[in-house]
Amino acid sequence: MDLDALAHLAHPTHLRELFRTDPGRATRYVVEAGDLRIDYSKHRLNDDILASLLELAQDSDVEGRRDAMFAGEHINVTEDRAVGHSALRMPVGSTFMIDSENVVPDVHAVLDSMSAFADRIRADDRITRIVNIGIGGSDLGPAMAEQALGAFRHPRLRCSFVSNIDGADIAGVLADSDPASTLFIVASKTFGTVETLTNARTARSWLVDALGEDAVIDHFVAVSTNAERVADFGIDSENNMFGFWDWVGGRYSVDSAIGLSLMLAIGPGRFREFLAGFHTIDEHFRTAPLAENAPVLMALLGVWYTNGLGFDTKAVLPYANELARFPAYLQQLDMESNGKSVTLEGERANYNTGPIVWGETGTNGQHAFYQLIHQGTSVVPVDFIGFAKPHHDYPEHHDLLMANLIAQSEALAFGQMNEAEPWRNFEGDRPNTVILAEQLTPSVLGQLIALYEHMVHVQGTIWGVNSYDQWGVELGKELANQVTPELTGDPTPDAHDSSTNALINWYRANR
């Protein structure tokens, strides 16, 4: 079976009818993975469609490409690299071979070094503020996870994350910080990322102005692979630099040394629980049959909607305020991975690939965009995420929150007819998944992230794209490097179109 065939599958009847004629679907279309309960019964799905989707997975060699990833093969073909983020969360004594080398001992050596550093900082009353300076995967992952696991945060340490080249970002953080009690983490694999290094130099100048040049070595650490540039910056590259590897993509790196700020916040023990959660889903994905494999099933639903029914967006709606940044994190994970129009064979794809991913926490979104997902002309498949137990002492709030999650799932699926007042008519038949766990813990957060990581991998496999490169971010960077000196120096009008030249001239005249 191929992707073109999906558009010709018989579309199922309304979800109201599917539940009326098949009451067992509420238990049959549920899968458990680790601590996650994933209910996909409220989807435009029946046994025939599911069988066809599983056939598509078989024909696309989902199992073979999965096994190739876990075997350390160079499935990132455009960069000739292995895809080894699963090695980052493997237990001591495990084996993950990349280029004839077991990389797990090196992973744990870095983890041990991070743990010793974290223990030292957590015991040092002089440090009260951690500022992570990075961008993309070096920011989104740790920023999202640190907020998500706020209940486990060290009571003395406060974390901030600076990523935007807009000076307002770092200005706000520095204005609220004390140089003597602030530790900066500069996260950049090459230690050459323009946005990160610009912010890092600003932070360095701020610190030196207050405490002198000698303070840099005590207040800056690096997450990088470029020891020479780190040392030139003034950071102790032997003791205060934590490395990672080219087989770790930025958007898959929160469980590497990129997560140092998170480890400082929640402690080495909790960080290892976080890693263990990832590994739980890794093993589920690696071993579960396709028909019982949570990432595979979620991926197939996405392919069905993208290529079978033509739905080109997806909303992720966590009913947990701690997960406020989870949709933004998934935007990078999904859209940077599978937002591709060229296949692994170098040909232009003649079908849609990755969806537009967006979302907001419940119940805030209910008073914003839920109008569209209930009654709009665009059908938006939804992932709801919720937990049985909160981390606060207001159970009546949590009961109301979860009542809203459950009710919204029901309302989207089944709607409510009102022929007399059509503006009150809710057609329903809006597909949604409900993902539940007992409580948001470090392990459960790791499981959630890994669930979506592997879902993205499966969809990339079926669409025949490389989920592990990101060439689409390069052109804008190159042109920005060309434009930057023209804003203050001599313009080169022959290098640009008339609109770009006009924008440069306006800025030069008004800056």
Catalytic residue ranges: 336, 367, 477
Q: Nearest 5 degrees, angle CA 24-CA 30-CA 34?
A: 150
Give dist(CA 100, CA 74) in Å, integer.
12
Give dist(CA 242, CA 142) in Å, integer.
15
Give dist(CA 106, CA 88) in Å, integer.
10
Give dist(CA 232, CA 230) in Å, integer.
5
Give dist(CA 309, CA 36) in Å, integer.
27
The H or E element containing residue 182 is strand 182-187
The H or E element containing residue 506 is helix 498-510
Q: Would you state the structure tokens that stand for residue 196, as one six-digit string?
A: 């990160």
Three-class SS state of 480: helix
Three-class SS state of 65: helix
Contact partners, residue 489, CB within 8 Å, separation at least 6: none
- Contact between 164 and 137 under an 8 Å Cβ cutoff? The reply is no
CA distances from 228 to 221, 241, 260, 411 (A): 14, 11, 21, 58
- Hey, which residues does 184 pair with through a beta bridge? 131, 220
Three-class SS state of 80: coil
